[in-house]
Amino acid sequence: MDRAERTFVTRCSLAVKPFDIWTGTTPSPSSLIVSLEGIDRKPIRSSDGSYVFLDVPGERCTLRIASAAYREVREEVVLPANGGTPPIVTVSLHPGRAYVPPAAGTGAIAELRDANGQPIAGAEILAYIDDETAVRGRLAEERSGGDGLRLKIAPGHGRLAPGDAFVLRDRDGSELEWNRMVDWTDHPAVILLERPIRGAWSRGTRLLPAVRATSDDAGTAILPFRGLLPAACRIHAEIAADGKRWQTVWQAEGGKVSRLPAFTVGSN
């Protein structure tokens, strides 16, 4: 009598690549809890530090990353249809108030208040540093809106990493566009973007280091900048809250974490 055999087939549904936005490294597994909300699937750690989920049911799921050191992450992910390529989700982990900044790290701690002095939670801050020594790369070719998700760049004074935000800014400073690097491609000078380029940009346009942060319940937002930065940094920031936007410029120092004066929304 032939021995009965069973074959079990599993499929990769999702791979998650978390990294510390301040250091560019993958945090230790003990510092993170990576899960899918409402789905009883535990991830498998791969050799590159990714968290791989197998046989996830449904068409969508909500990724959750909890940590004592980092801000909580909740992100909806579209899962592949049968036979589709599983998504690789690169997650930038932002520091929380319990986070210990890296040695010689550059950053700023902003406090947002309303007109009554009360903290503003959930405000979004988009910040960047405009300085020649902070340039992370330059466009190696002309680009215009709708040209796809790949961008060819020439080296700068620092190096972008997957998950890094940046701004494209022309030489006279009149035009500005935000984007994010998702990953490197098979070409060493080509990066994969989060969204297509919208504007028209000439060869040599600068890519400047940028940060996106959200204020916590205490109205505090930490702005981490990685890599080589000047001793005196001007942080250009746009703050969005309650459907309104404000712009300001903060002063920081390269190699230090500066606590900024409280910013009263509506006063600038």
CA-CA distance, 179 to 123, in Å (whole number)? 19
Give residues with Cβ within 8 angstroms of 29, minimum separation 6.
Answer: 45
Phi, then psi, of 19 in degrees rounded to 5: -150, 150
Residue partners of 8: CB distance under 8 A and separation at least 6:
none
Give the pLDDT score at 140.
Answer: 94
* Separation of alpha carbons 165 and 177, rounded Å: 11
Cβ-based neighbour number of residue 187 at 10 Å? 9
Longest Cα–Cα distance in the chain: 85
Show the domains of the chain with their CATH numbers: 12-93 (2.60.40.1120), 101-268 (2.60.40.1120)
Q: Rounded to two decimals, what is the model's pTM?
A: 0.85
- What's the CA gap between 40 and 55, in Å, rounded? 11
Residues of the chain with pLDDT under 50: 1
Whole-number pLDDT of residue 146: 73
Q: Using one digit for the tens of pLDDT, what is the confidence trace for 172-215?
A: 777 789 999 988 898 989 999 999 999 889 999 999 999 999 99
Q: What is the pLDDT of residue 1?
A: 46
Q: Which amino acid is at 236?
A: H
Quote the pLDDT of residue 18. Answer: 94
CA–CA separation, 136 vs 129, rounded Å? 11
SS3 of residue 134 by DSSP: helix
Q: In what order do the strands lie in the sheet with 51-54?
A: 44-45, 51-54, 12-20, 88-93
pLDDT computed for residue 81 by the predictor: 81
User: Can you read off the two tokens belonging to residue 160?
Assistant: 């972008």
